[in-house]
Amino acid sequence: MSIPGIPGLGQIAPVDAPSQAAAAASAAGASQIQDLQPFWEYRFEVPHGSELTIKLVSGTAEKDGTELAPGNAYSFTATKSKINTWHGCSLEVACPKGSFDAYTAEPSAADQTPSVSHVNLHFKLEGLRSAAASRHARGNTDAMGPRVLVVGPPNSGKTSLVRTLTGWATRMDRQPLVVSTDPSEGMLALPGTLSAAVFATLMDITTEWGSTPTSGPSPIPVKLPLSYYYGLEHPEDNAKLYKRVCSSLSVSATARLTEDPEVRAAGMLIDTTGIANPGAAKDGSAYDALAHIVAEFSINIIVVLGSERMTSDLQKRFGSHRTTLDEEVTVVGLDKSGGVVERDATFMQQVREAAIREYFFGDARNTLSPFTQQVDFAALSLWRINEGSLNDDNDNGGQQHHHTTMTPASDDTVQRVEPSLMMQNCTLAVMYASVHDPPDTIRDANVMGFVYVADVDEKRKKLKILAPVSARLGDRPLLWGSWPEPMVSLLG
């Protein structure tokens, strides 16, 4: 069947078929030139173990709001993403290792790509930032830029939109405070955390958010996040603890806005976990968690991606709400990009394992040497994150944890335990707190770093611990959650 052509744009390629250039480059490892016309997108999927190199030859292009530098080779692995162009470009594509899948999305007109609505949202936010900066310059210290919450179903492009808005903001010399409230994935930190960081410089486009802070050098300025430990995959796994962690993060985020006028004018961009079934979640914990975030972070703009039902629900729920600054809460519905693809459970597990491995050992560009030490059981202050309440018969998914010394927090969200074999291959959070602090203080503290339990010797009562730096672990309390799941192959 012939495919119609559009004058000036060429033919519309099937969006589910890999391009001939991708197939040729994958098979031979040789470079191919991919020409994109205005508003086209080059969408690619690179599996784990493969490597795709893309170089901008001519024109202009960007990935998630960050421009590609001409002549610079960018290497991608274990990712599903896209590169788009507003004015047309030529890309040199090569696959020196493994294979990849790619195709070119060719909209027939600018109004057929969601990127246009995204850039319109960006300019609307820029107007609000400029207004806030002007009011602050005139002496109104309460003036604050937009606080944007991006919500939607899983795999609707929420994180990509937040990254894109962040990239565009930094190109306008803004310094937005970016917040991740999705514990299933980490932002500049390991999964299981909620984190925030100011983005004042370019992002590394070869990674999701950039590398986790390490002791090694980086060509891109490292963003130092403020992280709080939740230790579970979903907000509903322990709604009380999740809200508590969000509150702790919001206090620190608000303080950061107060301290820096430029960050205050730029405002916040907040990513969230996906809500799979808006109808079922309407009266459930998912919407309650969103309402808590809206209140704690004083959200004045809610962007809903890819769900008319969710847009309607949130408009009804927040249509009459006002922020602490007496602003209206605006709910905006946007279509999700056609380039958004589903990342299955196996792919995401590999992403989490790669993040943990990079935290301790670095990557191909930056090799790190972690420290290994033997630690006595008695030297550690270890606390376990509870799923649900200790009074709930279904706590921890029906699993029983052994060797517990019962020092629960006042609301049963964490519980002191002794080391056991269940900890082997788990990642623990090292907290900015004292071992003598009460449970609530330990739980609400921010994360100093992470360690990995390589071996548990119950007979000798010793742990083999892997840490990024050499330090005494007995001086800080450790939090242990079920997320991310144990990683057996870290030292394999």
In the annotated binding site for ATP, the residues are 41, 80, 155-160
Tokens 């790190």, located at residue: 368
Residue 152 neighbours by CB distance under 10 Å: 24
* Structural tokens at position 58: 């001519």
Under DSSP, is residue 306 helix (H, G, I), strand (E, B) or coil?
A: coil
Buried b (16+ CB within 10 A) or exposed e, 429-454: bbbebeeeeebeebbbbbbebbbbbe
% helix, strand, coil for the chain, step of 5:
30, 25, 45
Q: Are 93 and 109 spatial neighbours (Cβ–Cβ below 8 Å)?
A: no
Tell me the residue type at 275: I
Q: Are 149 and 270 spatial neighbours (Cβ–Cβ below 8 Å)?
A: yes
**Concatenated DSSP letters for 124-186?**
HHHHHHHHHHHHHHTT-TT----EEEEE-STTSSHHHHHHHHHHHHHHTT---EEEE--TTS-
Tokens 């991708």, located at residue: 22
Q: Which residues contact 435 (CB under 8 A, 6 or more apart)?
A: 381, 474, 475, 476, 477
**What is the length of the chain?**
492
- Nearest-angstrom CA–CA distance, 158 and 118: 12
CA distances from 433 to 5, 476, 479 (A): 64, 6, 11
- Nearest-angstrom CA–CA distance, 427 and 71: 40
- Nearest-angstrom CA–CA distance, 386 and 24: 51
- Nearest-angstrom CA–CA distance, 273 and 79: 19
Q: What is the Cβ-side half-sphere exposure of residue 121, based on CA atoms within 13 angstroms?
A: 28
- Nearest-angstrom CA–CA distance, 268 and 91: 33
Tell me the residue type at 300: N
Residue numbers belonging to the annotated binding site: 41, 80, 155-160
